[in-house]
Amino acid sequence: MVCPIGPITNIAAAIQMDPGFATNVREIVVMGGALDAPGNVTPFAEANTYHDPHALNVVLASGASITMVGLDVTLRVLLTDTDFDLVAASNIANGPFLKDISRFYLDFYRSIGLTGCGLHDPMTLIAARHPELFSGERTPLRVDLEGPAIGKTRRTHGRPSVNVLLDCDAEAIKARFLDALVDPS
């Protein structure tokens, strides 16, 4: 299993160098895209997809077994100031640092009207390990490669279907994430 959490330029390059790569990997669980949700860097595009839409397009067309963990599901679990206060208070070694670095994300998401920051990358890892906490649909996808909607992930025809996560057990996922950060001692 491969679990890329940034722009997937390296995965696309691997597929272009060796088309067999796509079928030699059991699954690619990718953090990226926004199918029905609005984007987070433009009205249409999620950040990882926007920064290399061509790469995601290559991967989606590859025939690999793909699960897309995009904004449709990652914005269903929001971490708030209160969550970071809990982590800071209970994890002396790392909690204060995590609280400090959360400021940027929290401020950004508040500026776009949300009450907390999305659990994007961690949810991708959780989806890879605990797919039972998620639901979605299988559909073929493509990415807009130019124009005002560059980076937009869209349903299409004539491509392999991918598993697009659209819903989740938000409480269980948030609890799992926070439990990993809270110091039990």
Q: 134: which strand partners?
A: 168
- Alpha carbon dihedral 154, 155, 157, 163, in 10-degree steps, equals 120
Distances in Å between the alpha carbon of 74 and those of 17, 20, 62, 145? 31, 30, 24, 23
Residue showing tokens 């906490």: 133
Catalytically annotated residue among 51, 54, 120, 130 = 120
Annotation says 130 is catalytic: no
Phi, psi of 98 (to 5 degrees): -60, -40
Q: 6: which strand partners?
A: none
User: How far apart, in Å, do the first and last CA atoms of the chain sit?
Assistant: 33
Phi, psi of 141 (to 5 degrees): -130, 155
- DSSP notation for 43-100: SS--HHHHH-HHHHHHHHTTT--EEEE-HHHHTTSEE-HHHHHHHHHH-TTTHHHHHH
Q: Annotated catalytic sites, by residue?
A: 120
